[in-house]
Structure formats: C-alpha cells, structure tokens
Amino acid sequence: MSTEVKEASAAAVKEPSEPLFSKKNRLLLTDPLNDSNPITVQVLGICSALAITVQVKQAVVMSLSVLAVMIGGNLIISLLRNIIPSRIRIIVQLVVVASLVILVDQVLKAYVYDVSKALSVFVGLIITNCIIMGRLEAFALANKPWPSVLDAIGNAAGYAWILIAVAVVRELLGSGTLLGFKLIPDAFFEFGYMNNNMMILPPMALITVGIIIWIQRSKNTALIEEN
C-alpha cells in the first residue's frame, strides 16, 4: 500500500467524539456559578447588578436578556472563528452583540414594555457588558460551537443568580414584596415594622454584593487573594 493511500486511510478514521456533557463540558456550566463567577470573582457586570436589582422582575428579565445575547454571540463567533481576520475581531464581536441586543430590546418592548421601560438604557448597555465581550474574546474565538454555548449558559447563569439574589434581598427588605406580591403581613407593620427605604438605593446593592462575596470566600478560601 502506497504512502498516500495509508495517509488517506488514516485521515478517514474518525477520532472518538467527546460526549456532549463530558466532565470538561460540565465544568463550563458549573464553574461560573461559584469559583469563576463573573460578578463576585471576576468583578465584571457590576453596573447592572447595582442599577436594576431594585425589583426581582427587572433582574429576571435582564438575566434572560443577557442569556439570549451570550448564547447567540458565542455561537455565531464560534462558527465564524476561522474566517474572522484577527485585526477586526473586536469590531466583528461588537457588531454581532449589538445586533443581538437590538433584537432582544425590540422583543422586550413588544411583550414586556413596562419592564423594558424600567430597565431604560441598561438593556442597550448589554452591548458593552464586559462578561459578554470577555467570553467572546477568551473562549468563543478559540472553541467549537457546543462548548461555546455551554460556556455562555454557565456564565449567564452565574451572572443571573447574583442579580436575582441581590434583587430578592433589596425588594423584600426595601418594599416588602417579591415580584410585586406583598409578603410581609400587616401585623408586622402594626407592631412597628417599617420597610427599609435604604435598600432601594444603589449603595445597598453594592453592600449586598459585598456580603455575597464575603460568604463565598469564607466557604472557599482558595478565592482569597494574597496581599
């Protein structure tokens, strides 16, 4: 058998494909929830965590918007990764993310206009969200579509649970409601309980995030940075 035939035969043999949810792929989903959380560990996406967590509904809608943009962005950039010139990769990423954000914004205005109005400019600012741009640059440009989608879901979930946790604390203590439903009985107010209006101010969002970071690092000392 000639050398050319042997090489062709070897090339025809497919390598065993990696399972869809291999250990490596599962880590892409789970690591951002804790050890590599984009907000509490990487300190990205802080602005929206401070600005739109007064109500849980706003936090949920923002989280879903970021999830949609991240999945779409990571998938598109991963599919195009071999044909995007290195010199214009950032421009291409911005165009892709901006297009997806405009689409998401129009959907929100069509179906949840009140929430879209409350979120104001922060939906548009998803375009400059460091989490999204960071994952496109650091992961999607160098990996296949499926791992890129998992990476997007993991980081969006890590972003979402922080936003929703902060929103739950702020809405419950600041307004006495969750998702607009009153939870604190009137009897509490009759005994002198009052909603803490400070909780709806932006500084309390930062303090709440700080408490989450403190709890996270107390449980996982490996996250504590050495001086």
Q: DSSP assignment of 13-76, as one string?
A: SPPPPPPTT-HHHHHHHHGGGTTT-TTTTS--SHHHHHHS-SSHHHHHHHHHHHHHHHHHHHHH
> 40 in a domain, yes or no?
no
Q: Does 106 map to a domain?
A: yes
The answer to the question of residue 10 being in a domain is no
Domain count, the chain: 1
* Domain assignment of residue 127, yes or no: yes
The parent domain of residue 138 ranges over 53-215
Residues with Cβ within 8 Å of 90's Cβ and at least 6 positions away in sequence, in order, are 137
Per-residue pLDDT of the chain (227 residues; tens, 9 = 90+): 444 444 444 443 444 566 777 888 888 899 898 888 888 888 887 777 777 888 898 899 889 999 999 999 999 999 999 999 989 999 999 999 999 999 998 998 888 888 888 777 778 778 778 888 889 988 999 999 999 999 999 999 999 999 999 999 999 988 888 887 888 888 777 787 888 888 888 888 889 998 998 998 888 777 777 65
The Cα 211–Cα 221 span in angstroms is 15
Residue 43 falls inside a structural domain: no
Question: Is 146 domain-assigned?
Answer: yes
Q: Is residue 79 part of a domain?
A: yes
Residues 6+ apart with CB under 8 A from 64: 160
**Model pTM score:** 0.84
Establish if 208 belongs to a structural domain: yes
